[in-house]
Structure 1
Amino acid sequence: MKTNNVTKKMVLTAMLACLAFVLNTFVYFPAMAPFQHFVDVLAAVLVGPWYGCAAAFICGVLRMLSGRTIQAVTGAVFGPILGGLIYKKTKNIYLTFIGEVAGTGFCGAMASYPLMKWFYGLDAQSPFYYIPFYTPSAVVGAGMGVAVLLILKHSGALGRMLSELS
């Protein structure tokens, strides 16, 4: 029984990674990836912090292979970890939003600074340089994710999905 649930989580993780990649590829905003954060919130709640991180990492690598910088990975992986850990502890969808925004808007932005400097030679003047770019994207995307989760919760589908995955 446990193996079956792990398999379901792995398949859903791959599907969420693909969904994020496709949405970010066809709905493009310069220097923003709100659909990554949309999927991060869904993944944090549905599959948890570690599978959510895996989905964000897979999507980030795919985005890097299609021409994006390493920010595609660093801007995505911290949000589902923090949001997923918060949801796991509190079961509060709104706090998952805060975890996604803080994880991406602060942790992801701070992690991007040294990597962009090292790999790409970009000389931003401050480690806080990326925060104004990451935070609005995370707020918009996480807000969309929370809206979808609330719709699923009110219809009863979220409870069924979570029980099927646990």
Structure 2
Amino acid sequence: MKQVKLKTKVATRKMVAAAMFACLAFVLNICVYFPSMAPFQHFVDVLAAVFLGPWYGCASALLCGILRMMSGRTIQAVTGAVFGPILGGLLYRKTKNIWLVFAGEIVGTGFFGAMASYPLMKWFYGLDAQSPFYYIPFYLPSAVVGAAMGVATLLVFQRTGLVDRMQNELNR
């Protein structure tokens, strides 16, 4: 019984943190606007992948993507966000290496997210870009810049011991 309560408590904390990360990404993307780019989404995705893991990180990215779609963005707000924290979070879970979260975010978003956008943009919006590789040059720079900001922040947090404290706090 006590184990079930502990799991519920951890899940609740992670859900709340995922919602806070989603709101942070949404607000940062609204306040600091880059046409056709959302580097702050990737910044927050890296943080969420490390602190929450792949699945809660994905939930955070999905929630932010839905909020961004409701404010006038296309479905790319979702496809450009959800693959990075999954891949980065899985890599971090296996290795505890922050640099692999960076690589996971770039590959997950810059390639998988871009490739997933092609059929969805064609299906939902009727836009035929003629190639599934069309969106990669748009996604890749945003993912690199945002993931680099996330890694820089995590390295500072790691030096001060904040990464371990946050992870312990979320999992106790």
TM-score, with length taken from structure 2: 0.95
Q: 2:26 aligns with which of 21, 30, 34?
A: 21
Partner letter of residue 56 of structure 1?
Answer: A
Deviant stretches of 4+, over 6 Å = none
Q: 2:164 aligns with which of 136, 151, 159?
A: 159
Partner letter of residue 134 of structure 1?
Answer: Y
Whole-Å separation in 2 of the counterparts to 1:35 and 1:153: 20
Shift of 1:42: 0.3
- Aligned-residue CA RMSD in angstroms? 0.6
Whole-Å separation in 1 of the counterparts to 2:152 and 2:118: 31
- Which residue in 1 is equivalent to 2:125? 120
| SS state at 2:134 partner | coil
Whole-Å separation in 2 of the counterparts to 1:105 and 1:9: 26
Partner letter of residue 113 of structure 1?
Answer: Y
| SS state at 2:36 partner | coil
Shift of 1:157: 1.0
- Which residue in 2 is equivalent to 1:150? 155
- Which residue in 2 is equivalent to 1:90? 95
| SS state at 2:37 partner | coil
| SS state at 1:52 partner | helix
- Which residue in 2 is equivalent to 1:50? 55
- Which residue in 1 is equivalent to 2:73? 68
Shift of 1:160: 0.7
- Which residue in 1 is equivalent to 2:3? none
Whole-Å separation in 1 of the counterparts to 2:117 and 2:128: 12
Whole-Å separation in 2 of the counterparts to 1:9 and 1:123: 39
Shift of 1:4: 1.6
Q: 2:17 aligns with which of 9, 12, 31?
A: 12
1:131 aligns with 2:122: no
1:35 aligns with 2:40: yes
Identity %: 76
- Which residue in 1 is equivalent to 2:116? 111
| SS state at 2:84 partner | helix
Q: Paired residues, what number?
A: 166
Shift of 1:64: 0.3
Flag structure 1 segments of 5+ consecutive residues without an equivalent: none
Shift of 1:97: 0.2
What's the CA shift string for 1:102-138, capped at 9, x where partnerless? 0000000000000001111111121000000000000
Partner letter of residue 36 of structure 2?
Answer: A
Whole-Å separation in 1 of the counterparts to 2:120 and 2:162: 40
Shift of 1:165: 1.6
TM-score, with length taken from structure 1: 0.99
